[in-house]
């Protein structure tokens, strides 16, 4: 069993993509630490585990590697995988969040096409809807089991795992606030920016809030 079979992607891989597209992606996708002479996507699952990475995360990375039309094909499959992951009782919210990040960044640059524009907004809202579940996970990353054992034995600590971390940027909040401001919905953009600031996401929300407040005051 290889990684594509493990995630039940083999049939889709062989039918949705052309031989040339599969060749390009499998050639260019080389995870760190993996022998460059072996095609990772076809490597047999022998003494390896893929359980720490969700299907949507794998597809998100493949979409980044893919070129031309294959990128859109894989992005569509990534969105499907994200929605499947959200329907499961146990969810890897970080992988879902990162996959949504990639989807938003794919659709928004194509915003001149109304379908892509609406899809970007939809995905922003979806990423925002799970944002509160990500705050603790990003602020206090889960320590690997091996490191937990070592620290228990030695009493050592690690600044990344044992101290609160700064939250990253949140594409959904940032992009949708920009969209709403451009559409003239200053109140909606302000509300989003205030919520993102309250949750602690990085980006210059104080400046955005000041600017939006001043715009609203002028309008009134």
pLDDT band per the 50, 70, 90 thresholds, residue 47: very low
Cβ atoms of 105 and 171 within 8 Å: the answer is yes
Report CA-CA distances (Å) from 180 to 203, 209, 213: 17, 13, 14
**Exposed / middle / buried, residue 105 (Cβ in 10 Å: 0-12, 13-18, 19+):** middle
Answering whether pTM is above 0.85, one says: yes
Q: Does the structure show a pLDDT above 60 at 100?
A: yes
Give the confidence band of 39 by pLDDT, cuts at 50, 70, 90: confident
| Nearest-10 Cα torsion for 123, 125, 129, 135 | 80
Task: Using the predicted structure, report yes or no on whether residue 134 has a pLDDT greater than 60.
Answer: yes
pLDDT of residue 154: 75
Q: What is the pLDDT of residues 107-124, one digit of tens each?
A: 999 999 999 999 999 999
pLDDT band of 38, cuts 50, 70, 90 = low
Q: Averaged over 132-146, what is the pLDDT?
A: 84
Burial class (CB in 10 A: 0-12, 13-18, 19+), 97: buried
Res. 37: pLDDT tops 80: no
Asked if pLDDT for residue 126 goes beyond 90, the answer is yes
Q: pLDDT at position 1, please?
A: 79
Beta bridge partners of 169: 202
pLDDT(29) > 60:
yes
Q: Which among 135, 136, 162, 138 is positioned nearest to 148, based on CA atoms?
A: 162
Q: What percent of the chain has pLDDT over 90?
A: 66
Q: Is residue 165's pLDDT more than 50?
A: yes
Reported as a single tens digit per residue, the pLDDT across 60-99 is 999 999 999 999 999 999 999 999 999 988 889 999 999 9
């Amino acid at each position: 069993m290889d990684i594509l079979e493990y995630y039940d992607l083999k049939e889709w891989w062989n039918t949705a993509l052309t031989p040339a597209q599969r060749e390009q992606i499998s050639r260019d996708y080389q995870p760190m630490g993996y022998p460059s002479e072996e095609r990772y996507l076809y490597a047999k699952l022998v003494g390896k585990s893929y359980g720490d990475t969700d299907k949507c995360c794998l597809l998100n990375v493949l979409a980044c590697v893919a070129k031309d039309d294959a990128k859109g094909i894989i992005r569509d499959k990534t969105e499907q995988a994200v929605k499947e992951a959200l329907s499961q009782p146990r969810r890897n919210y970080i992988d879902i969040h990162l996959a949504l990040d990639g989807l938003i960044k794919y659709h928004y640059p194509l915003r001149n096409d109304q379908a892509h524009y609406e899809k970007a907004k939809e995905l922003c809202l979806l990423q925002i809807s799970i944002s509160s579940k990500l705050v603790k996970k990003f602020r206090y990353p889960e320590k690997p089991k091996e490191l937990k054992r070592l620290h228990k034995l030695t009493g050592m600590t690690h600044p990344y795992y044992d101290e609160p971390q700064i939250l990253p940027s949140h594409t959904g909040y940032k992009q949708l606030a920009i969209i709403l401001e451009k559409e003239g919905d200053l109140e909606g953009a302000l509300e989003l920016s205030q919520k993102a600031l309250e949750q602690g996401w990085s980006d210059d929300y104080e400046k955005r809030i000041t600017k939006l407040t001043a715009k609203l005051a002028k309008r009134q």
